[in-house]
Chains A and B, each alone.
Chain A
Amino acid sequence: MSAGGATTVDMVVFGVLATLTTFFALFTITRRNPVTAVMSLVATFFCLAGIYASLSAHFLAVIQVLVYAGAIMVLFIFVIMILNREEVAPFSLRPLRVLGVLAGVYLLVKIIDVVTVGLPEAVPGAAPDGFGTVAAIGDVLFRDFLYPFESISVLLLVAIVGGVVVSRSHQKEVAAVEAHDYRHQIEELAHHDYPGEPPAPAAPEGYH
């Protein structure tokens, strides 16, 4: 970022990236095919990473590409692979949802009103030295936010375990229960056919 103010280059870059972001986001929620939606979501995240970089958030821009465009998107693609279903009618507009849309539009108008009135139009001054670099963020993260950072690891662990438990197949358990019942049935039947008979006749002792 330039120190003096918004240069023409900044304006053009932001304009292009913001337009592309909005366009791809709209594309994401309007496509019928989930694969197209995911691809435009990836494009949205890439454009957003560019916008993050223009806010001198270089570390976050890299993380955005790694985590969103990398990990989360692969997850989405895999799930689409498992359950790819074309929709008959993608949008559902019931009376309650129409109300929700109206409320959302009202909220949008109000928020833009508040934002454009409440904040100065001035360009923020030059970022401090090393703003948004890995070193600077690491300093804040491991000094002031150590416990939240550690609790993220717990959260991720819980998410992993939860994901495995929720999505695991129950077929093996059902098969095991059925096998157990089956064995039980066989034993009962055997008992029914030969009541009172010892399971295996033992060889008499001392018989030659």
Chain B
Amino acid sequence: MATAKPQIGIVGFTGCAGCQLSILDLEDELLDLLQLVDIIDFRMAMTGNKEGPYDILFVEGSIVNEKQEEELKELRKKAKILVAIGTCAVFGGVQALRNFMNDEQVRVRQYGTEGAKKHPVIKVKPLNQVVKVDHYLLECPVNKYDFLNFVKYVLAGGAPKLPNIPVCQQCKEKGNRCIFLEDGILCMGPVMQAGCGALCPSHNLPCDGCRGSILQAAYQQQVDLMLEKGASIEDITRHLLKYTAEDEQLKAFLREKWKEQGKKMEYFIE
């Protein structure tokens, strides 16, 4: 029964569109996936899009102005299940670092003094600050297999379970050298979600936590250890908040940490 197939939408707000591209990158599985679902809205990939109603709507990107806020609210009304995909939609993404700056400054810098007046902006928001989000799929860009597994589990009637393991596990499974232990690189792997296959540390790059932190992350121990090894709170914060500036728990923790250092947490990118 063709009509019984769930109707799927894949849309994007402010982001790099990399999540949508990742889904398109499921080349070996896409045709099989289409046996299970009808993709009715996927502007990046096709014409003849239909704006709902959706059984599952996947939304990429963060919300950066009022118009987007309204659009997202409308989409929510048309979707049975709304899934935030990728770091921007889940945590705000790199652009959420803007939230540490003065709005006025941001606009003047981007659009000039005159232009700034025409471009009202709001704080960068992950989707769940605007609408109810039913599920979250992580990574920057979203992990295409997480996406595929999610669809499979929802259709099979099960509850998709995301891993909640730190990046260190996957580094050990892959037999990687520990770049924190051996090179002193500020790697946030111990407190950040794996699922990426320890992609960055496998290439000698530090984990900056694009999947967000694990449950009960040992922030305190991690930050104390790094401070003890001579890292600055500024550098540590840059790594921890790079992708997840709107992680309230992490931000609250860091504010306290800055206070302990006798400093007030502020914009730290420049």
Mutual binders A and B? no
- Residues in chain B within 8 A of chain A (CB atoms): none
- Residues in chain A within 8 A of chain B (CB atoms): none
